[in-house]
Structure formats: structure tokens, C-alpha cells
Amino acid sequence: MDYSIETLAFDKLETDCVIVGIYENKQLSPSAESVDKISQGVITQLIERGDIKGKNAEILWINYIPNSPIKRILIVGLGEKGKLTAKLYRKALSSTITALKSTSIKTVNCTLIDSDVNDKETSWKTRQIVERFNDAIYQYQETKSEKEPKLTLKKIQINALAVEKERAAIGLKYGVAIARGIELTKFVADLPGNVCTPTFLAEQAKEIGNNFSKIDVDVLEENDIEALGMGSFLSVSRGSRQPAKLIVLNYQGGTKESKPVVIVGKGLTFDAGGISLKPGAGMDEMKYDMCGGASVLGTLKAAAEMNLNINIVGIIPSSENMPDGDANKPGDVVTSMAGLTIEILNTDAEGRLILCDALTYAEKFNPEVVIDLATLTGACLVALGRVPSGILGNDDDLCNDLISAGETACDSLWRLPLWDEYQEQLKSNFADLANIGGRDAGTITAACFLSRFTEDYRWAHLDIAGTAWRTGANKGATGRPVPLLSQYLIDKAGA
Ligand code: BES
Ligand code: MN
Ligand code: ZN
């Protein structure tokens, strides 16, 4: 999709379709007013007639305007004026693109940048238009016979006032970068487990390294991983025929001396549970257990595309978790890179086993902060559903910065406590700690486990088990938390 900013006067506008917003109570947006004037008042007449009320996400097509270079008008309801929140704005954008998707229109001119969204300015609105539209037109085709998406839409122009052009251009640059990052994350996440293996993920990372001069990619093989002493990580991979990979992406946008933001993503390309085998129903969705890793790829790509002036390291421990004669068994004790021994009471709590070694490895980069992303616990879905991702960490400032980035990006987080009392649940009679903490507070005890390996730096853990993909008829990856991480990095870069 081609996105651009235009500053066209409406009487000069030649387009297949112009998108304009209206509010309830017959209030028009400035663009709707201009288009109404040059089209013999067709918008006001339709409102008078009651064909559209202006309720949020309401849609009305005007498919023919006599003697006009504007071929169609798509009117979108924004709801009550003065009450257009970020969430409602995004809802209106979604219904707009849904309406467009089913037409044969090739180019559109979107004026929704002139909507009055509470506390939001031009660049934010531009970003949202690009992000929402690009998200909605994504179509998974890779393993279908029909490889080409049916979409005819090729060009989306965003119409800005001349005075706003600069802000809109910034929004466009960031919006397109983030949208492409999300697209990559969704693409690799949606691929089946027999295509998206640890080796495939490593290849994707290398391709990013080839495309961006500021990103170096290093892939550590099983013998390297063993030499580092990552006995916990490798124990998970032993039950799989696919070799494990430790994928490292190093983005150098800042000065040599500046400490990097390190982002660690769980890259479990299929989680069958191991010997503690998962039930069959819905197990296909465990191909999404690499969404943390996929989000590392998408975020690094977006950061490089935005050319942010900071350093970022992405680390993806990648493996499968399968039942096998050589797989971990309940009761096995393994030794992590940090030297702590771990009793594996449930082989399905494998995410923490691969992450703990990656988190120890992160120390070598002398991080400013470390953020890990993982589809870590079903308990997070029970606690928070599919609305926010869970966040836990050992640093209030870091958690608060991430939470506020999530609010700006409409990619929300909700914090859970990481109190010492919960550490009790991880006691083991046979090792330094157990890999599960019982039924209670599963998301918290998983984070407690990780916290034992992150004591030397500021750290936050995002549990994305409920947010990384949609289940049901509309099953598919969401690309979360790439939007919030991109926002966090933009804030960090002061961009
Ligand atoms: N990848 C799963 C977590 C998961 C389950 C995410 C369902 C999304 C939906 C993880 O490896 C896992 O199996 N966790 C166990 C932990 C338990 C054994 C302590 C879980 O949540 O059941
Ligand atoms: Mn598991
Ligand atoms: Zn898992």
C-alpha cells in the first residue's frame, strides 16, 4: 500500500473516493463542509433526510456526484463532537477501512486527520490512520493456493491542511514504519509451525540485517549455546528435531557509549507442552508461541525504519517444545547459565526455561533496561482476557513508561504485583527453584521465576498470551505489542 500526505484544495481534488467525517447533531467536520459545498450540499441533504446520524463508526456511501472530479464520498460517523476519544477514533477508522475493502476502489483521499480527537494532535492521528488501515488490509496468503490478496486499493492519500503538513509528514513516517513492523510480526506469527521453525526465524532476522545497515545479526547455534552454559534453554530443545537458535539483532542508532534497550522475545515456534503434553483442542494455536520473538523482529525493523538515535538489542531464544524420548521429564533438574539449578515439575512451563538463559545473556550488553515479551501463561488470559497485556517488573519508572507508551499507542498494559511473598511458591526440595508455582497466581509466579535472573538490571516482563493473537473465526496474529514498544522507543529517543 502506498501512503502519502497531500494538501489538495477540495475543488481541485480528483479522486475515486474522498473520506469525510461528520459528528452527531448535524455537525460536519471542516472537510465534510468543504466537500458539501462543492457537491451541491449532498451531505447536508442526506443528513436532513436521516440517512446518517453521525453515530460513531456509522458509514454512508455516496456513489455518484454529478459534474464532480470526486467520484464517490464515504461519510463516516464520529459520534458526539467533543467526545471523540482515541478508542472511538480507532473504531471509526476500522469501520472506514472495512467499508473500503469490499469495493473496487483504487485510490482514496482520507480527510479524517481533521477530526477533533481528545488530546491528540495531527501526527498521532496520521499514525493511527496508517496503522489501522494497514492492519485491516493485511491478508494472510502464504500457504494458500491463491497467493495474491484480492484488494484493489493501492493508494491512500491523507489530506492535510498546509499548516499541518509537517506534523502529518512526521506521523506518516512513523506510522508507515510501525505498520510495516506490525505487518512483519503478523506474517511470521501466522505461518504454521512446520514453516516457521527456529531456523526460519533466524533467516528472517538475517534478512532484516541485510536490509538495514545499522542492524547486525548474529545467530548462535546449539554448540555456541552449550558453550555459554545455557543448560535450561537447551533442555527444552532436546525433545525437538529442529535445532535451537539464539538470535541476536543489534541496532546501532545511538553513540557507541550509550547503553542499549534490550528486548528479549520468546521464540517457541511450537509448544506441544513436551512430556506434560497439552490437550489436543486448540493446540494449533501454540504455533503462536513465538509471538514475543516475532515482535522483537517487527520492533527492530520499525526502529530502523524510523532511524531512531538510540541503541537497541533484540534477543530471541528459539526452539520447539515437543514430547520425545530425549525430552525433559517432570522431575528433571537442569542448570541455567546463571548457575541456578531448576527442577522441571511441568515441561509445559518451558517459556521461562528458555527465557531465563536469554535474560542472563542480556547482561553482556550492559543494558539501560531489559524488556521481555512472552506468550508465557494461560493464567494471564484468565486474569486479564484479551484486552491488555500483563506487565510485571522490578522498576517502577520502566513499568510506568511502558504503560504510558501503551496508552498513547492504544496497545494497553495492566500491571500485576511482583511481591516477594509469591517467590515462596517456587521452592523446590531438589533444586534452587522449581519451574512452576502451583495453580494460584500463575502469571505472577512465572514472572517471579524470571525475576531470579534479572536482578542486575532494570527489567520489565510483558505477558502477551492474551493479546498476541485472536482466536475463533477471525484467528490471526495482532502484531501486539509492537505498537507500544515502538512508542516507548520513540519516547526514549526523544523523537
Ligand atoms: N505457551 C504457553 C502459555 C499459553 C497458553 C499462552 C495458552 C497462550 C495460551 C506456556 O508455555 C504454557 O504452557 N504455560 C503453562 C504454564 C503452567 C504449566 C504453569 C500454562 O499456562 O498452562
Ligand atoms: Mn508451554
Ligand atoms: Zn509456551
The dihedral through the CA atoms of 390, 396, 399, 400 has a sign that is positive
| Site to substitute for ligand 1 among 377, 426, 439, most atoms within 8 A of C-beta | 377
Looking at domain 179-493, its CATH architecture is 3-Layer(aba) Sandwich (3.40)
**Distance, CA 273 to ligand 1 centroid (Å)?**
8
- Neighbour count for residue 180 (Cβ, 10 Å): 18
Residues 165 and 122 sit within 8 Å (Cβ to Cβ): no
CB burial of 406-415 (b: ≥16 within 10 Å; e: otherwise) equals bebbbbbbeb
Which pairing describes strands 332-335 and 369-374: parallel, antiparallel, or unpaired? unpaired
**Distance, CA 397 to ligand 2 centroid (Å)?**
30
- Pick the residue whose CA is nearest to atom 9 on ligand 1: 378
Residue 147 pLDDT: 81
What ligand 1 atom has the least distance to the C-alpha of 445?
19
C-alpha cell at 97: 477501512
Residues 463 and 389 sit within 8 Å (Cβ to Cβ): yes
Residue 149 pLDDT: 75
Nearest in space to 165 (alpha carbons), one of 3, 2, 4, 1: 4
C-alpha cell at 102: 469490499
Residue 67 pLDDT: 87
Burial of residue 340, with CB atoms counted within 10 A of its CB: 0-12 exposed, 13-18 middle, 19 or more buried: middle
**Distance, CA 274 to ligand 2 centroid (Å)?**
8
| Site to substitute for ligand 1 among 322, 348, 380, 464, most atoms within 8 A of C-beta | 348
In the chain, which segments carry CATH 3.40.220.10?
2-160
Residues with Cβ–ion distance below 5 A, ligand 3: 268, 271, 289, 351
In the chain, which segments carry CATH 3.40.630.10?
179-493
Residue 146 pLDDT: 87
**Distance, CA 271 to ligand 3 centroid (Å)?**
5
Residue 216 pLDDT: 98
Residue ranges around ligand 1 (CB below 6 Å): 271, 289, 346, 348-351, 375-379, 381, 436, 442, 465
CATH 3.40.220.10 fits 2-160, yes or no: yes
Residue 427 pLDDT: 98
Q: What is the reported pTM?
A: 0.98
Residue 199 pLDDT: 99
The dihedral through the CA atoms of 361, 365, 370, 372 has a sign that is negative
Residue 122 pLDDT: 97
Give catalytic residues, as residue numbers: 278, 352
Contacts of 464 (CB under 8 A, 6+ apart): 291, 292, 295, 373, 374, 375, 376, 389, 480, 481
At 375, is the secondary structure helix, strand, or coil? coil
At 374, is the secondary structure helix, strand, or coil? strand
- The ranges of the chain with pLDDT < 70 are none
**Distance, CA 315 to ligand 2 centroid (Å)?**
20
Helices within 230-362 (DSSP H only): 231-237, 291-306, 351-362
Closest ligand to residue 440's CA:
1
